[in-house]
Amino acid sequence: MEKSQYVETIQAQRLEREKRLLANPRNWFSLAGLFWLEPGENTFGAEPSNPIHLPTAPAPFCGGLYLHKTTVTLKHAIDSIRVNGELPPTRPLQNDHDESPDFIECGSLRMLVLRRGEKTLLRVWDTKAKAVKEFHGLNYFPVDSQYCVEAEYTPYDPPILKKSADVIGTELEVEFSGQVRFTLNGVDCTLEAQSDDDGLMLHFSDLTKKDSTYPGGRYLLTSVPENGKVTLDFNQAINWPCAYTQFATCPLTPFENTLQVRIEAGEKRYHD
């Protein structure tokens, strides 16, 4: 592929990603809250005394979420509340790990029960969020083909399980399918790789996190390795959702995947 065509392809991918990010009203930029639910009643509404204080809610008290062990039930909802466009069910709400999650509709707000390890949380979006209206595009380094490199891939047989965590402190067990080795700007690098539907997922950070990229790291998706080789195009490296909002629950960068090299390619910090 010629250089000009390569640059155009990457730029087109970036524009398409922006469209996908905003296509759903429940996107990372419309997030308005993340609340830990306590056993028993968790009332929500515009009144500050509610455990779940939602300043833009349509009423001082809008309802209560009752947590019993791992299930959450919506009770005492005001008349305008809907769940998936219908009257609230009497059954427990389906959470984000269920096949058909339940979305609570409260004025311009949308809410979803989350499960993170032993924790039960409530995620809140505001379809009229200021951050969506003020979205001005994502930030990227200029496309640079020197950051597209060939790496050696060594699979693990069997895959290796390692302990990790996310930004809210939930312990995770991450499965690594193999390791990639490559040289970039004269520095020998290794990354632990996770399997993705279409290839590998590499969660990494590098020296640019000090001044120009998201400190929590970025990730890169690759194609399926062939004959022990895989192409790493860091021009396609992108941010985790936590780069855009404090209300996301992203994994922390694996310690082994902290690179001692500047990778001035891919996505930069959103607000810089």
pLDDT in tens, 122-171: 999 999 999 999 999 999 999 999 999 999 999 999 999 999 999 999 99
- According to the model, what pLDDT value does residue 197 have? 86
What are the strands, taking DSSP E only, across the chain?
31-36, 40-45, 52-53, 63-68, 71-75, 82-83, 104-106, 109-116, 119-126, 148-165, 171-184, 187-196, 199-204, 218-221, 229-233, 238-239
Say if residues 80 and 107 touch (Cβ distance below 8 Å): yes
pLDDT of 187 higher than 70:
yes
pLDDT at residue 177 above 70?
yes
Copy the structure tokens of residue 202.
């590499």
Give the position of tokens 């020296």: 207
**Alpha-carbon dihedral sign for residues 57, 60, 63, 66:** positive
0.85 exceeded by pTM: yes
- For domain 23-133, give the CATH number: 2.60.200.20
Residue 259 pLDDT: 98
In this structure, what token pair is assigned to residue 205?
Answer: 């950070």
pLDDT at residue 234, rounded to an integer: 99
Q: What is the pLDDT of residue 271?
A: 77
Of 28, 58, 32, nearest to 122 by C-alpha is 32
- pLDDT tens, position by position, 71-117: 999 999 999 999 999 999 999 999 999 999 999 999 999 999 999 98
Position 139 scores a pLDDT of 97
Whether 272 shows a pLDDT value over 60: the answer reads no
pLDDT band at 10 (very low <50, low <70, confident <90, very high): very high
Q: Is the pLDDT of residue 1 over 80?
A: no
Instruction: Determine the pLDDT at residue 4.
Output: 86
Mean pLDDT of 260-268: 98
Return the SS3 of 89.
Answer: coil
Amino acid 2: pLDDT: 79
Closest residue by Cα to residue 232 from 181, 169, 168: 181
Measured in degrees and rounded to the nearest 5, phi and psi for residue 233 equal -105, 95
What does the pLDDT look like over 189-222, one tens digit per residue? 999 999 988 999 999 999 999 999 999 999 999 9
The structural domains of the chain, with segments of one domain joined by +, span: 23-133, 138-257
- The three-state DSSP-derived secondary structure of 153-211 is EEEEEEEEEEEEEECCCCEEEEEEEEEEEEEECCEEEEEEEEEECCEEEEEEECHHHHC
